[in-house]
């Protein structure tokens, strides 16, 4: 069974997590992705942790299902080869800033291929005052405002964990690129550039808080401590997040926790009242929750249709029955002895996603791809 993007060819000259995750998603959808690595390998191959052979575990995830060619994009020969390859693909993905592309002769205009869809995934986008300013997940979180609402009041602001900003930017880029490809298929020959700024992706992720600050003149700040409204809060074997936004969530959760006076008093049914008077009940709720194991509490709340969730450890996540039942964990078809990898964040009923190939060695497909290029010229 073929993928939704079967027959679509992608050339990836990006050097970042966001670009790599974008093309990883395109590969999962069935596209043939060729990733260009410099003479010293893709920068992601230097990211820890490493396996027993010294290979980067994150890179094995981000570079899976791709073919690898080695080219030096700082040389005229490498740049010319990319231009020739770009004339034979549908999609080109880059993470270079405007001046970096111009210096290498790799701008969209340099490709001279009207049907090409070229996706840019950069910290600040391809135009505007900051287009040439470098960035990463940390600076993106800071400049987007995301860090200002993340963390505890009185402590330093926090960026999203791990590569959250880059991964979200990769998803946004993949979606926008597929939309541009759809447009081209309806209007043959009309390729275009797709411009994704990581700072804008992160700013959009907390749009409700941003809008409340801008339009309601009510700044959204970091909370001063974890409580049953902000959570997660401690329980016997970890932490637990409990949503109490609706009256029936509140009533059923309080009854389960044995706090019947809070459950039945009609004043507490109103969200605004709970917000204003949370100091009157917060400790009682968290103390009652602390008597539960997180799995038991989740099961009882789920029966009552109260939105809640245990905070899973990495080991618990890997063993999670729900994710396993949905086939979230995958192994490359050509390397069944390799460790499992997390799957992609969506499912298609008629063109299911698959993980066909483990991450290639740097340059493993250089000769193969160049032969294909010459054969089609």
State the DSSP string of 254-317: HHHTT-HHHHH-GGGGSHHHHHHTGGGTHHHHHHHHTTS-HHHHHHHHHHTT--EEE---HHHH
Average pLDDT over residues 363-369: 96
**Concatenated DSSP letters for 72-138?**
-TTSHHHHHHHHHHHTT-SEEEE---HHHHHHHT-SHHHH--TT-EEEEEESS-SSSTTTT----HH
Per-residue pLDDT, 45: 97
Which contiguous run of DSSP H or E holds residue 184? helix 164-186
* Segment holding 22, helix H or strand E: helix 17-28
From 92-96, 277-281, 323-327, the region with the lowest mean pLDDT: 277-281
Nearest by Cα to 58 from 41, 69, 44: 44
CATH class of 9-206+325-375: alpha beta
Per-residue pLDDT for 226 more than 60? no
Domain 233-310 sits in CATH at: 3.30.1540.10
Is residue 229 pLDDT above 80, yes or no?
A: no
* Residue 63: alpha-carbon gap to chain centroid: 15
C-alpha closest to that of 25 among 342, 362, 373: 342
Domain ranges of the chain: 9-206+325-375, 233-310
pLDDT in tens, 80-104: 999 999 999 999 999 999 999 999 9
pLDDT for 214 equals: 77
Banded model confidence at residue 184, pLDDT cuts 50, 70, 90? very high
Residue 66: pLDDT over 60 = yes
Which positions ≥6 away from 325 have C-beta within 8 Å? none
Whether the full predicted model's pTM is greater than 0.85, yes or no, is yes
What per-residue confidence (pLDDT) applies to 153? 76
As a whole number of angstroms, the distance between CA 314 and CA 320 comes to 10
As given in the structure block, the two tokens for residue 362 are 């740097």
Statement: residue 134 has pLDDT above 60: yes
Share of the chain above pLDDT 70, in %: 96
Residue 53: pLDDT over 60: yes
pLDDT given for residue 150 in this prediction: 81
Cis amide bond preceding 210, omega within 30:
no
Average pLDDT over residues 213-236: 72
Computed over every residue of the chain, the mean pLDDT equals 91
The span from the CA of 364 to the CA of 348, in Å, is: 30
CA angle, residues 209, 213, 214, in degrees to nearest 5: 115
On the question of pLDDT at 280 being above 80, the answer is yes
Which tokens is 11 given?
A: 């050339």
**Residue 197, pLDDT above cutoff 80:** yes
């Amino acid at each position: 069974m073929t993928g939704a993007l079967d027959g679509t060819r992608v050339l990836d000259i990006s050097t970042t997590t966001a670009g790599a995750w974008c093309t990883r998603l395109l590969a999962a959808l069935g596209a043939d992705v060729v990733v260009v690595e410099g003479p010293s390998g893709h920068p992601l191959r230097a990211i820890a942790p490493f396996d027993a052979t010294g290979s980067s575990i994150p890179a094995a995830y981000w570079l899976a299902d791709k073919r690898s060619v080695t080219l030096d994009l700082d040389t005229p020969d490498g740049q010319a080869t990319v231009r020739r390859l770009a004339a034979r693909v549908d999609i080109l993905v880059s993470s270079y800033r405007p001046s970096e592309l111009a210096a290498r002769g790799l701008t969209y205009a340099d490709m001279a291929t009207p049907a090409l869809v070229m996706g840019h995934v950069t910290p600040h986008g391809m135009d505007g005052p900051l287009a040439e300013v470098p960035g990463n997940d940390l600076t993106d979180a800071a400049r987007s405002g995301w860090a200002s609402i993340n963390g505890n009041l009185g402590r330093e602001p926090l960026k999203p964990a791990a590569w959250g900003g880059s991964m979200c930017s990769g998803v946004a880029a993949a979606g926008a690129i597929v939309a541009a490809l759809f447009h081209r298929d309806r209007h043959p020959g009309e390729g275009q550039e797709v411009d994704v700024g990581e700072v804008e992706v992160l700013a959009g992720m907390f749009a409700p808080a941003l809008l409340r600050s801008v339009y309601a003149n009510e700044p959204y700040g970091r909370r001063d401590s974890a409580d049953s409204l902000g959570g997660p809060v401690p329980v016997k074997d970890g932490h637990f997040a409990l949503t109490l936004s609706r009256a029936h969530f509140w009533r059923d959760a309080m009854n389960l926790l044995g706090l019947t006076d809070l459950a039945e008093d009609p004043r507490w049914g109103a969200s605004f009242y709970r917000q204003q008077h949370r100091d009157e009940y917060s400790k009682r709720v968290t103390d009652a929750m602390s008597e539960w194991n997180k799995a038991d509490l989740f099961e009882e709340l789920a029966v009552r249709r109260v939105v809640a969730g245990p905070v899973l450890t990495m080991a618990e996540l890997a063993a999670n029955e729900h994710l396993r039942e949905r086939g979230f964990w995958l192994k490359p078809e050509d390397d069944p002895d390799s460790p499992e990898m997390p799957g992609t964040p969506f499912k298609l009923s008629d063109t299911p996603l698959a993980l066909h190939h483990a991450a290639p060695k740097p340059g493993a497909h250089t000769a193969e791809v160049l032969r294909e290029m010459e054969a089609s010229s």
